[in-house]
Copies of this chain bind each other. A is one copy, B any other.
Amino acid sequence: MNPYDYATSQRDRFVEQLRAFLQFPSISTLAEHNGDVVRTAEWLAEHLRSIGMERVEIVPTAGHPVVYAAWLSAPSGAPTLLFYGHYDVQPIDPLDQWVTPPFQPTVRDDKIYARGATDDKGQVLLVINAIESWLAVRGMLPCNVVLVIEGEEEIGSPNLSSFLHQRRQDLACDAVLVCDTAMFAPGIPSLVYGLRGLAYLEVHVRGPRRDLHSGSYGGAVVNPANALARIIAALHDDRGAIAIPGFYDDVRSLDAEERHLLASLPFDEEAFCQELDLDTLGGEDGYTTLERLGARPTLDVNGMWSGFTGTGAKTVLPAEAHAKISMRLVPDQRPDRIAQIVAEYITRIAPRAVRIQVDMLHGADPVLVERDSMPMKAAARALEVTFGRKPVYQREGGSIPVVAEFQRLFRVPVVLMGFGLHTDGAHSPNEHFHLENFHRGTSAVIRFFEELARGQ
């Protein structure tokens, strides 16, 4: 039996293991789930030991622990691959929109539904499945592997950097693999060569000492909710561009080759709208939808709250208004500088009668990787064999904060080979992962180990 046949024979068990992994509510941003996050790390470490990883550790950090594992007994001269993934997940609200509970994994129509299914537990487990398949059949892998699976990706990886620095010698590698991205479309294998960065801010607007009667005070007391709305409105101009002075200063513009590459992707805008139940899209004038989604910076309100939000009519002039506002960044924008100019701009345009506080919750650097590095070529071959067609190269709109850090720290090629779909509902209710992609991903990674060891 070869590793591929082994993986095929183990499909049902792999799904059961995924189900077990997904049952843990490892929501990293909510303190009440700290215990669940630790239990998830323990389950993961135990599973890695059971498949034969030589060295498995749960490494404490100032926040949630990192699960570290290594198998370093490949033939002399074989390359070492560092795999990065995360076992933490996003919050689950709005809970009432889930068809089945987010931590009771349920298979429907060959998809497994649960928070974290596609982002990133399913994709972490398929890499572990690939390692298991090699070790079970051959007792060895064609290359060395080091796994770093963290519990803080969804909150901006605040402690990963110090882990990477402290354990640098245990992380020596020739390439980095990340499986936390989406395929361009069903059946179209994809390699991501660009990731957007992130600057996530929380804006607080404070007015009078207390909530006021809107009849007795309205008209003379500046309303913090109205003020916040005007601030948010002033963050974009009428052409959909971001209106903050200096915001675009460090944006690398798209060259003709890349615009052509993006334009050549088989993108069906009508189907995209239909899936979202939208009549039309929007965005920055002068750019295509794919450019807007992957290659241009954005600014979105992620949450906003003020005053009375219950049923009915309360005639209150709220004392405070709040918004979570994040910007997706592209090379060479830097999150800290962006956060600073946005905070300055907001403070400057706010009415004098309110007090402004802007907190940065997290940041991530944008990334571009070489499209023709040796590990990227190995990945392309693995995908072509597995899917029966060449992969497409795309930019993804999301952020994986640590990728820029890997580039800086190890100076080795990074491969972003993901098996999710944009329609999987990552960060949304009813997140799911196609089991077909779970199994194909397993096969592709089995092959990638071989191709990477072969080199060229």
Which residues of A come within 8 Å of B, CB atoms? 29-31, 90-91, 93-94, 97, 154-156, 182, 196, 198, 200, 207-223, 225-226, 228-236, 275-284, 289, 292-293, 296-318, 321-324, 326, 328, 351-353, 361-362, 396-399, 422, 425-430
* Chain B residue contacts of A207, Cβ below 8 A: 278
**Nearest CB of chain B from residue A217's CB, rounded to whole Å:** 7
Q: Contact between A326 and B214 (Cβ–Cβ < 8 Å)?
A: yes
**Nearest CB of chain B from residue A349's CB, rounded to whole Å:** 11
Q: Contact between B313 and A326 (Cβ–Cβ < 8 Å)?
A: yes
Which residue of chain B is the closest to A232 with respect to CB atoms? Answer: B229
**Nearest CB of chain B from residue A286's CB, rounded to whole Å:** 13
Q: Contact between B307 and A315 (Cβ–Cβ < 8 Å)?
A: no
- Cα separation A133 to B404 with both chains bound (whole Å): 80
* Chain B residue contacts of A314, Cβ below 8 A: 29, 90-91, 302-303, 324, 427
- Cα separation A306 to B200 with both chains bound (whole Å): 16
Task: Offer 26 A-B interface pairs, CB within 8 angstroms, sorted by A.
Answer: A29-B313, A30-B310, A97-B210, A155-B313, A209-B275, A210-B425, A210-B428, A211-B427, A212-B428, A214-B300, A214-B328, A217-B276, A218-B397, A219-B298, A220-B282, A220-B293, A222-B282, A228-B229, A230-B236, A280-B353, A282-B351, A304-B306, A304-B307, A305-B305, A305-B306, A307-B324
- Cα separation A430 to B210 with both chains bound (whole Å): 10
Add 7 more A-B contacts to A216-B397, A303-B314 (CB < 8 A).
A213-B428, A214-B300, A214-B302, A226-B301, A229-B233, A229-B301, A307-B324
* Chain B residue contacts of A352, Cβ below 8 A: 279-280, 282
- Cα separation A226 to B326 with both chains bound (whole Å): 12
